[in-house]
Structure 1
Amino acid sequence: MAVSYMDFTSPNVQYFYDLKNNRTFTKDANNFINTLGIQQLNTLGNVSLLDIYLSKANVVEPHVHQNATELVYCIRGAAVVSLLNPFTKMVLTYNITPGQVANIPQGWFHWEMATEDDTHLLAIFDAPVPEFIAVSDFLRLAPRNMLAHTYCLDQAQITQALAPIQGTVTIGPPADCSHQREVRPDTYPPQAEPHPQASYTGYVSRPSPFPGIGNGYR
């Protein structure tokens, strides 16, 4: 929807923008994200997008946009888009190739993994700034004693396991990962279909109640 209060006679009205001028995350030369919002193009209204470039087996980490629905369009390459349905407690996986889309409802956990090199995705949002809550932020900031107590885990083990997460990952594995395992994107279903996972009994079926953890890709 256009911004109704905009003065379209103003010399400051913007109708063009080059996405490469707003790189908001870089892992390396083949894995990065450009962003377009009303800060860059003031005639957008309630629309924004992420211009995502990935090489094979790189993942836009699990995250939530608590204020926006996301439509992922494949321009080049191929990717698996996965989302957790909080009502059925199932993970849905969709293999997308050029010209195909996958839609993630507002507030649902989701992630995208490239299955080919030189994959190019466009993520379109129905909000001027899609708020971003990364699972890596929760894992690195949540008190270890709380996690151990809540999920009946060994505190020393969970502390050791999560210690390497020192910042928001955004595109994983992190560039400095020294013990990457063999990643097999081909293990995902070749056709888009749901498959049951372990029950996520702690997840509430509504958008995240924890605002302010993230406000866009950084």
Structure 2
Amino acid sequence: MDNSAFEMHENGAQKALSMEKMSTISRMEKKRQWSLLSIFLLCLLACFITTAIGVLIVSLVYVNNSQPHLNVHFEPEAWLLQTTVPKVQKAVDPKFQFLNHLPKSKVFEFPGGAIQWARYRNNIKDYLSDEEEAFGTSLNSQRSQMTLGTLRIKSKGLRAPHWHFNANEHGYLVQGTAWIGVVDDGGEVATTYNVTAGQVIFFPKNTLHWIKNVGDEDCFFLLFFSTHDELQTLDVDDVFFSTPEDIASRSLKPEGGINFIRKFQQQTEDQGVNLPPNLAELVTNASYVQSPDNLVWRYFFDLKGSKEYQFPGGVIQQAQYWKNGNELSNNEKIFNEFLHQHQNALALSTLRIYNNGLRQPHFHFNANEMGYVLSGCGKVGIVNTHSTIEFNIHIGDVVFFPIGTQHYIKNTCDEDLLFILAFSTGDQLQTLDMDDYLQATADHILAQLFFRKQSEFKKIPKFMEDQAINLP
């Protein structure tokens, strides 16, 4: 018999079971779908993080390579140190290319005197100031063939026997009396002579020489050297103590041999300018011999006794080579010829400018010029293409004028302005003044150049007397 109630219950139970089964399957499907999505998102996040880390590493490597000198520190003090603005070197007045305040330079003290320099130095730390460095650099970059030093020797002091590897030396004695010695090739002849204030001495490159103060007052020399590089000098005592004892003994063959050499002791203080405290015990009956004129005048010139070239505003005297030496004395001709035999010799002169006088604008064809102010005061002008650099000068100042540079000097004191000048030529000095080159230029050329009528240039007078140093 069919039981319809039982069938209905059975069908309902099966339906419910089926529905529950479907619900479970649906939940499992959703769970499985969510798991796949989670894995996908997790992988995506991992890829993003990995990419970001890679970009960061590449960026750091790039920054490090593009800035190799930058050290990154995270400590506060270190970071501040790295970001500090570097010190900017102060600008140097252009005038110091042409001006050196020598009295402000370093004084090299010795037992017997002192030396000061206006020179180029290989090590910039040897300059005392930016201005001094500017001057030294100018001398070197212009290949000036010039260095200047002042030498002060105390009474009875000695500038030790020495020689210079890379320069001829020209000296002017400003004050005192000195005895000079020069050892010739082979040492067979030692030329000795006495000099007084206003006279010139000359020592060719690699020539051994000495200077002895034989007066009661200090000797004061101005020394010019024909090099724009650092001067190279060797003193005899330095050579002696640097030579091995056995070599010195075999070379000199003294009585007592090597034991004689060992008696010498090098002093702790540089003896470049020498004056032993017990000099009276060491030296007796010293003589200061004057060699024959034919030897002396190769190394000596009496500048103060030479011809004076007179101008309305001053006087010039010259110790230089003259192509035509007919006006020279016999002794001056010896100096003239000997000077010209040596490469890179200098020409020396004195320039005296009277009160309110002007050494008019001029330039030199064949020489750089260096000058030292002996007395007075004045104003110097350097004429460039578009401007003029002017500066005041006083006693002890050194000036430098490169070859071809137009310049002028005006006396601004009541007393005479006196210079000692050196020129970097062993030939006859060649100079052109402003009035000379304007007078030599045709009027119609000047009229066209300056946009003035030709007749205007007739107003510039031509004087019979040379106006190189003029007065108003």
Q: Could you say which TM-score interval applies, normalised by the shorter chain?
A: 0.7 to 0.9
The equivalent residue for 1:17 is 100
Taking a change above 3 Å as real, the CA distance of residues 175 and 46 of structure 1, as seen in their structure-2 partners, is farther
Pairs within 5 Å for 1:29-108? 31-39=113-121, 40=132, 41-42=135-136, 43-44=138-139, 45-86=144-185, 89-108=188-207
- How far apart are the structure 2 equivalents of 1:25 and 1:107? 23
- Residue type at the aligned position of 1:89: E
The equivalent residue for 2:69 is none
- How far apart are the structure 2 equivalents of 1:89 and 1:48? 31
Pairs within 5 Å for 1:1-218? 11-12=93-94, 13-27=96-110, 31-39=113-121, 40=132, 41-42=135-136, 43-44=138-139, 45-86=144-185, 89-116=188-215, 117-128=217-228, 129-153=230-254, 154-160=257-263, 162-166=264-268, 168-174=270-276, 179-182=281-284, 184=286, 187-189=288-290, 194=295
- Residue type at the aligned position of 2:179: V
Taking a change above 3 Å as real, the CA distance of residues 73 and 159 of structure 1, as seen in their structure-2 partners, is same
- How far apart are the structure 1 equivalents of 2:295 and 2:119? 32
- How far apart are the structure 1 equivalents of 2:173 and 2:196? 6
8 A Cα contact 1:57 1:183, kept in partner: no
Q: Shift of residue 84 of structure 1? A: 0.7
Superposed CA RMSD: 2.7
Q: Shift of residue 72 of structure 1? A: 1.4
- How far apart are the structure 2 equivalents of 1:109 and 1:84? 6
- Residue type at the aligned position of 2:191: L
Taking a change above 3 Å as real, the CA distance of residues 133 and 183 of structure 1, as seen in their structure-2 partners, is farther
8 A Cα contact 2:169 2:225, kept in partner: yes
- How far apart are the structure 2 equivalents of 1:183 and 1:173? 17
Taking a change above 3 Å as real, the CA distance of residues 176 and 194 of structure 1, as seen in their structure-2 partners, is same
- Residue type at the aligned position of 2:110: K
The residue matched to 2:97 in structure 1 has which SS? coil
- Residue type at the aligned position of 2:224: I
- How far apart are the structure 1 equivalents of 2:266 and 2:280? 11
Q: Shift of residue 151 of structure 1? A: 2.8
Q: Please, which runs of 5 or more residues in structure 1 have no aligned partner?
A: 1-9, 196-218
Identity of aligned residues (%): 18
Taking a change above 3 Å as real, the CA distance of residues 187 and 150 of structure 1, as seen in their structure-2 partners, is closer
Give the structure with the higher percent helix.
2
- How far apart are the structure 1 equivalents of 2:252 and 2:219? 37
- How far apart are the structure 1 equivalents of 2:224 and 2:184? 20
* TM-score (normalizing by structure 1): 0.72
Taking a change above 3 Å as real, the CA distance of residues 175 and 21 of structure 1, as seen in their structure-2 partners, is farther
The equivalent residue for 1:5 is none
Q: Shift of residue 69 of structure 1? A: 0.3
Q: Shift of residue 62 of structure 1? A: 0.5
Q: What is the total number of aligned residue pairs between the two structures? A: 183
Taking a change above 3 Å as real, the CA distance of residues 20 and 187 of structure 1, as seen in their structure-2 partners, is same
- How far apart are the structure 2 equivalents of 1:178 and 1:91? 25
Q: Please, which runs of 5 or more residues in structure 2 have no aligned partner?
A: 1-91, 122-131, 297-472
With a CA cutoff of 8 Å and minimum separation of 6, indicate the structure with the bigger relative contact order. 1
8 A Cα contact 2:192 2:291, kept in partner: no
- How far apart are the structure 1 equivalents of 2:224 and 2:163? 14
1:91-146 deviations in Å (ceiling 9; x for gaps)? 11121111111100011001111122221111110112221111111111111111
Q: Shift of residue 169 of structure 1? A: 1.2
Q: Shift of residue 182 of structure 1? A: 4.2
Taking a change above 3 Å as real, the CA distance of residues 86 and 139 of structure 1, as seen in their structure-2 partners, is same
* TM-score (normalizing by structure 2): 0.35
